[in-house]
Structure 1
Amino acid sequence: MNRASSGIHTPFAATLIGSQALSADTALFRVAPEASALEALSRFVPGQFVQLSVPGAGEVPISPADLPGGDGTLELCVRRVGHVTGLLHTLPAGSELGLRGPFGTGFPIREMAGRPVLLLAGGLGIAPLRSLLFHLLRESRDFGEVTLMYGAREPKLMLFREELAALAARRRLRLYLTVDFAPQEPAGNFSCAVGLLPDLLKGFSFDAQGSYVAVCGPPALYRCLAGELEGAGVEAERIFLSLERRMRCGIGRCCHCAVGQKLCCTDGPVFRLSELKQIPEAL
């Protein structure tokens, strides 16, 4: 087969370098793709996704948690929720994997230039937004103030919390954390509010007229968050939501990702709120 077609229909070979547990069921995996994949991966935009395949199990769509490293290494934050991800969590370093992609439409980095950016993450939604966050911070001269609001069910399920606290301590970003409930005191240098993610927006002072907003998390949050943002004065054209949980084949062939007449794998997974408001079943 012509290797030029690999990455779209045929996976590139990749090797599992290692993993780091983030919670009881979620880990950060570092994956090294073969050299022939580097050109395709160099075009990755935060918000896009790859298809990760585990031999003998199948493949799953995953949004990278950071831009590829100089050697193409990817960080993939994966929750153990099914057969493929369950097997992935048992694999040792050195195991063979496969990668296709990147696929889809990411966040509009160029359009955000010079503007304040507000990131709203719920639960595992922090993983796709982490790649956007890191890009904004690495290229901070090109963007306005960066704010992250992140909510989880409870403190022990909050991912990357030490990393985020360190960034906030160095004044790299404004950080606001919240949990639905706190059955135990958070460990370490970590503090947060108790309440739902939309509650953080109530009374929050920011440049609503000039800011861009990126949202990723449980779809049930989106309608409420959209209402709070528009109520604060953010235009729907500048609110971007990721429907990454609907992704399937990656190329729009199976149509399981359809939202109205749009396909999340190709038209998304990142959409403007103004687009989604025209599709009754989208939110």
Structure 2
Amino acid sequence: MTDKNSYEVTAAEIYEIIEESPTIRTLRLKPEKPIPFKTGQFVELTIPNIGEGPFTPSSSHNIADTMDITIMKTGFVTEHVHKAKVGDRVGIRGPMGTHYPIDEWKGKDVLIMGGGVGMAPTRSLFLSLLDNINDYKSITFLAGARTPADMIYKQHIDGWRKIDKVNFLRSVDRVPEGEVWDEEVCLITKLLDKISIDPKGNPVVVCGPPVMMKFGTMDLLNYGYEENNIYLSMEKKMYCGIGHCRHCVIGKYYACKDGPVFTYDTIKNEENIWE
């Protein structure tokens, strides 16, 4: 957790909106004062007169005077997020929660698996790692989506693939008639067959829909990754952000206070972790 007052709201202006897919958009925000955070932490985004919801920034944690938040349209608050316009003002509460211990990963091969809108928190991690890429042996990003139209951050992929020590692979579950795709068509977990990383002692981060995280974790264990090196972003069910509403209980843990970043060995014995 951060020492910042969890109830304090910082006003911010939307200065750009990027339509990433038919259901996902990125808000680029300019807060009235810098909001430092660590990659993996989340904030509560307030839409005036509507409500608030928890979202993980999708920008580098090395930038505090602006913030990107990538949001899928899934409910009441996010419906209004998708109606927002450039120039609108919103509120940001936080940051809150745990973060990825990237300083412990120096000199290692870092693997990231981001599925669907789960690419948003992992984009923050990826960009934060890129800022000091020479500290790491390599960075491999496996990105998945249902269809080519659902794949986000399309405009950045070519540039990322040109960076030394970066391996960026993408897959979609299917290619509908009329859509164009010349990369892998398979479940994201099948991309593990396309990489060659020694899993021993190296970290992997998984973020995406619960079913993808469940089977992705099982495949990573079979690949040889150690339970304490599999980092899961357990953002589902969070609401208030401070442990009062109990929406995000995972056994004896609160996703918002004890997470959202957990290692698999920490929560593996808790009930219904993938629901």
Q: After TM superposition, is the score higher than 0.5?
A: yes
Q: Secondary structure at the match of 1:253?
A: coil
C-alpha displacement at 1:6, in angstroms? 7.6
The aligned counterpart of 2:90 is: 97
Residues 49-68 of structure 1 mapped to structure 2, 5 A cutoff:
49-67=42-60
Q: Structure 2: any 5+ residue segments left out of the alignment?
A: none
Q: Secondary structure at the match of 1:56?
A: coil
The aligned counterpart of 2:126 is: 133
C-alpha displacement at 1:206, in angstroms? 1.0
Which stretch shifts more, 80-89 or 268-277?
Answer: 80-89
What is the rounded CA distance, in whole Å, between the counterparts of 1:71 and 1:9 in structure 2? 19
Q: What code does the residue aligned with 1:217 have?
A: G
Q: What code does the residue aligned with 1:137 have?
A: L
Aligned residues: 272
C-alpha displacement at 1:170, in angstroms? 3.7
The aligned counterpart of 2:80 is: 87
Residues 101-116 of structure 1 mapped to structure 2, 5 A cutoff:
101-116=94-109
C-alpha displacement at 1:33, in angstroms? 1.2
Deviation track 1:55-77 (CA, whole Å, cap 9, x = no partner) reads: 11000111000125756110010
The aligned counterpart of 1:34 is: 32
Structure 1 pair 171/265, CA: closer, same or farther in 2 (3 Å)?
same
C-alpha displacement at 1:78, in angstroms? 1.1
Question: Is 1:181–1:195's contact at 8 Å kept on the other side of the alignment?
Answer: yes
The aligned counterpart of 2:191 is: 200
The answer to whether structure 1 residue 168 and structure 2 residue 147 are counterparts is no
Deviation track 1:83-142 (CA, whole Å, cap 9, x = no partner) reads: 222222222222121110001001111121211100001110000000100111110111
* Aligned match for 2:230, one of 217, 236, 239: 239
Q: Structure 1: any 5+ residue segments left out of the alignment?
A: none
C-alpha displacement at 1:247, in angstroms? 1.5
What is the rounded CA distance, in whole Å, between the counterparts of 1:227 and 1:85 in structure 2? 31
Q: Secondary structure at the match of 2:236?
A: helix
Q: What code does the residue aligned with 2:30 have?
A: A
Structure 1 pair 106/31, CA: closer, same or farther in 2 (3 Å)?
same
**So what's the TM-score if we normalise by structure 2?**
0.93
C-alpha displacement at 1:8, in angstroms? 1.2
The aligned counterpart of 2:265 is: 274
Q: What code does the residue aligned with 1:216 have?
A: C
* Aligned match for 2:70, one of 77, 82, 85: 77
Question: RMSD across aligned C-alpha pairs, in angstroms?
Answer: 1.8
Which stretch shifts more, 226-235 or 58-67?
Answer: 226-235
The aligned counterpart of 1:124 is: 117
**So what's the TM-score if we normalise by structure 1?**
0.90
| Percent identity of paired positions between Structure 1 and Structure 2 | 33
The answer to whether structure 1 residue 145 and structure 2 residue 145 are counterparts is no
The aligned counterpart of 1:218 is: 209
C-alpha displacement at 1:166, in angstroms? 2.0
Q: What code does the residue aligned with 1:270 have?
A: V
C-alpha displacement at 1:7, in angstroms? 5.0
What is the rounded CA distance, in whole Å, between the counterparts of 2:165 and 2:194 in structure 1? 23
C-alpha displacement at 1:269, in angstroms? 0.5
Q: What code does the residue aligned with 1:15 have?
A: E
What is the rounded CA distance, in whole Å, between the counterparts of 1:165 and 1:66 in structure 2? 18
Question: Is 1:202–1:228's contact at 8 Å kept on the other side of the alignment?
Answer: no
Question: Is 1:177–1:191's contact at 8 Å kept on the other side of the alignment?
Answer: no
Residues 1-40 of structure 1 mapped to structure 2, 5 A cutoff:
7-35=5-33, 38=34
What is the rounded CA distance, in whole Å, between the counterparts of 2:137 and 2:170 in structure 1? 21
